[in-house]
Amino acid sequence: MAETQKPRILIADDDLVSRRVLEAFVSKRGYDVLSAANGQDALRLLSAEGAPRLAILDWMMPGMEGTDVCRKLREQSGERPYIYLLLLTSRTDREDLLKGLQAGADDYVTKPFDPAELDARLSVGQRILDLQDKLIAAREELRFRATHDVLTGMVNRGVVLETLSREHARQKREGGSFGIILMDIDHFKHVNDAYGHLSGDAVLREISAVMQSSLRPYDTIGRYGGEEFLVVVPQSDAAAAFNIAERVRRAIEKQTITAQDREIRVTASLGVAATAQAGALEPQTLLNLADEALYRAKRNGRNRTELAADSPPAANEPAGTGSHHNQM
């Protein structure tokens, strides 16, 4: 079993003896210690990637005092991890202590420090950092759930439609072509009825992974609803979008899914629509065209790709038929 990583702490003090005493104290309490002899070095170390989350800063240091380090750290923008700052000071006046807290320090310890007091204040700092990490994790989970489909892990309907709108806006600014693919798993209701909803979920998860691996890194696929998926394919004319759709269709056709100790094979029908710089189409028009092409693919036997009739012609368009497997 891997060892638990030690929490890291920065000790900044220009007095060598005082610094060594602090280093020995926090090391015995399980901290991995990083040291600085002045404020400039302390600021540099705390501003770096992967900096310690706890720091003890001597108030009086040459060049840059501990309060200056606190202030500059708090002024740094971005979503960098929070650093809990303890000021070490011989000052005990209320106004001085308030000045330190207003500069951005979280707490203070008076010199010479009392071991039990410092231990308690470090414990408080660590609890606050742990709580913040849990809050950040919860926020990220909520953000993920708001933008992704939990079952498949791909972006949800709202996000993929936003991507379509952005690609349309980019086309209006810069020109060029792009396409969309609307895909539906064939006879998916039969999968749920014959094998159960757990198996149906397993099919959706695995087919989602197959689709994503068949696309280009800059294509965006999202769950459009139920067993239906939408792909936005930038920088693609009708022929390129059609070829990508066919690659996805063939990958799905070849995939064998094991769920509940059963092997399941499925196919998909796909509708493709594209828009060129000349006569650029609105997003809703593209969606309607792709939807019509998708249902034409289903009427024509399923397990096939159809290109929307109003899309720009695809040079040397490949045949839209694929071998039809009646797995259900």
Tell whether the model's pLDDT for residue 317 goes beyond 70. no
Q: Given the residues 227, 246, 253, 306, select the one marked as catalytic.
A: 227
**pTM (global) more than 0.75:** no
For the chain, where do the domains classified as CATH 3.40.50.2300 start and end?
8-145
User: What CA–CA distances, in Å, run from 293 to 13, 53, 60, 168?
Assistant: 71, 55, 73, 20
Residue bearing the bigger pLDDT, 3 or 138:
138
Pick the CATH number of 157-307 from 3.30.70.270, 3.60.20.10, 2.60.40.3880, 3.30.2010.10: 3.30.70.270
pLDDT digits (tens, 9 = 90+) for 58-96: 998 988 999 999 999 998 866 688 999 999 887 777 787
User: 8-145 maps to which CATH number?
Assistant: 3.40.50.2300
**Rounded to an integer, what distance in angstroms lies between the CA atom of residue 183 and that of residue 304?**
10
Residue 279 contacts by C-beta under 8 Å, 6 or more apart in sequence? none
For the chain, where do the domains classified as CATH 3.30.70.270 start and end?
157-307
**Rounded to an integer, what distance in angstroms lies between the CA atom of residue 14 and that of residue 241?**
64
Task: Give the per-residue pLDDT at 56.
Answer: 95
- Please say whether the beta carbons of 303 and 186 come within 8 A: yes
> Which token pair is 268?
């998909």
Tell whether the model's pLDDT for residue 237 goes beyond 90. yes
User: What are the DSSP calls for 104-144, one per residue?
Assistant: T-SEEEESSPPHHHHHHHHHHHHHHHHHHHHHHHHHHHHHH
117 is annotated as an active-site residue: no
Largest CA distance in the chain: 85
**Secondary structure element (H or E) that encloses residue 272, with its range:** strand 268-275
pLDDT digits (tens, 9 = 90+) for 274-292: 998 777 899 999 999 999 9
